[in-house]
Chains A and B, each alone.
Chain A
């Protein structure tokens, strides 16, 4: 007993000593960093970059971008403010409260397009048009893209990468088993339905889909296929009638497509749906081109293990979404943020970032010679296709509208509303 007490006392003493030492260590390091940098008061001394790129290919991309940043701006310390979870929803929640309490990060990631609208109307982000001139980006970015980022003549963010949302991924083995030619592409929804019927008859899921947002992703590609690029754009500027017969036709196609899908969809997220194609449990899957990374991770190669083509009826249209970086009003280190934005927009930064992330650079000067096969085809399409804004990824409509559309879609696909009810709810969601 006595020994025990003594031992405990010794252990406690050792613990205190250890704590003291670490405390000293902490002091030392902070002393030196503020000492030699001498820049903690300087607004270019550091930059806190707020993203939801915390895992997988997204993290790999961010790491590559930081590598370029450290070369270009060795005096600005990069502070990673990445928040994991919920495909960005956890990060957006936190960002919302930070902006609300006037504690913004130095720069944050946001989907380019209408999703920025809330921040703009709340006066939370700065106009960065000047930086486009300063960094010489106006020429380097395609005009189509810059138009979509411009609100009332002002540009509020610098895009880092571009993804395409209207891509079908298919498993050639499954298609062959169903008696289809795996190299075939389909001109219209009707052609595709024939193929989907064949796959369904062969006993596997014809089209895999996951939870609500992936269903909205599918919906937007069907709208795009049936209304065409112009009609689709009209949905967002009011020139296409949501209550019209054309939209009804598209929704009928959407309903039909949902009939080919897996019944456990609402419990899954996109990787699960893509995995079904990888594993041969499903024939087709419609997903943005970040799915490419999932195929690559599974060690698959195209065209032997998987094929991809634009959603039938949308050939020649690039359904775009982009991540971008902003300059929040009241950022503690605006010069650090400008340094970061310069790297994000630069050809070197975009090449390094997008190669790792699997997306394509917005900056056309970026060197893409060593990009993957898919990325090269996407870059080619982006150069020549008509560009439209994605609905499911915040490019076409603000968050509140998207939430209403998601609610209506979930209600419809679970069978709680009929097609007419769905159509009028969609119209109400967009027209307010």
Chain B
């Protein structure tokens, strides 16, 4: 017993505070959130206990998922995530590839590409709201005005005010901000590949393209997966950028996180909690397979 305690006691004691905090503030609150989401706690009166609440199980979920407006939010989120992911991965990868070649001023370009990430979404959102002004013709400003000045008038559009694809305009600043980060990930990946492998490939007569295609790219798969997970879960949670470019009530840019905010603001705690749970499940669908995979690899 004593021996056992000596062996396991100190680590457990050391871990205990963080385990307890995690249990309460992460898993405990997820549980509390879920238990709110299966009640009919839809008003201020039920929230304070003046009026009773009852358990309605999955009624909130079925109503939300069945409503056209929430489906619109989910579709927006899906479009946003796909374009945000493809955009950051493509641009980040190309930048990393370019910088991987020995060029002058690499450090300079690396910083330039990485800088946008240092700006908060709220701050860049304010600027992009001006850039993405939807006025066209005489009243145009921002990017639409720029298009006019360089003679590309036909490119003018109403940006995020398009009902169906407006949300994609918001991916432009998102991609601009996060591509540098993905580049840094890929660049680290490129640098992690020993030179010997490239040399061996070249010795075997591989062309430059073949070296990339068959030697380097396959080794970047884990990096690619990390980037996918990081950008993917950021995208699912995205709220601040959308809030600062558009406004919460604007139908064209609604995503579940915005719906959750609005539900909470009108004392509809049950719906807000249900949307929170739906978001958690969506993030889990993205993250859990990755965790399982890395776990296996480590073993």
Contacts and interface: CB of A to CB of B under 8 A. Distances in A.
A338 interface: no
A211 B139 contact: no
B265 interface: yes
Interface in A234-266: 262-264, 266
B249 A263 contact: no
A266 B245 CA distance: 10
B74 to A, nearest CB: 15
A410 B264 CA distance: 19
Given A93-B265, A118-B267, A262-B139, A267 B48 contact: no
Contacts, number: 103
Given A119-B44, A121-B44, A262 B135 contact: yes
Interface string A279-291: 0010000000000
Interface in B160-208: 161, 163, 166
Interface of A: 89, 92-93, 96, 99-100, 118-119, 121-124, 203, 205, 211-213, 262-264, 266-267, 281, 399-400, 402-403, 406-407, 410-411, 414-416
Interface of B: 42-45, 47-48, 50-51, 69, 72, 129, 132-136, 138-139, 158, 161, 163, 166, 245-247, 249-252, 262, 264-268
B43 A121 contact: yes
B234 to A, nearest CB: 23
A211 B247 contact: yes
Contacts of B45: 118, 121-123
Nearest to A210: B247
Nearest to B130: A267
A410 B249 contact: yes
A267 B249 contact: no
A209 B3 CA distance: 76
Contact of A124 (B48, B51, B133, B265): B48
Nearest to B267: A118
Contacts of A266: 134, 161, 246-247, 250, 252
A92 B44 CA distance: 13
B252 A100 contact: no
Given A263-B135, A403-B262, A212 B250 contact: yes
B165 to A, nearest CB: 12
Output the residue of B47, B136, B250 with the most chain A CB within 10 A.
B250
A399 B161 contact: no
Contacts of A124: 44, 48
A253 to B, nearest CB: 21
Nearest to B132: A267
Given A263-B161, A264-B133, A411 B69 contact: yes
8 contacts: A96-B264, A121-B51, A122-B267, A399-B266, A400-B43, A403-B265, A414-B161, A416-B163
A410 B138 CA distance: 25
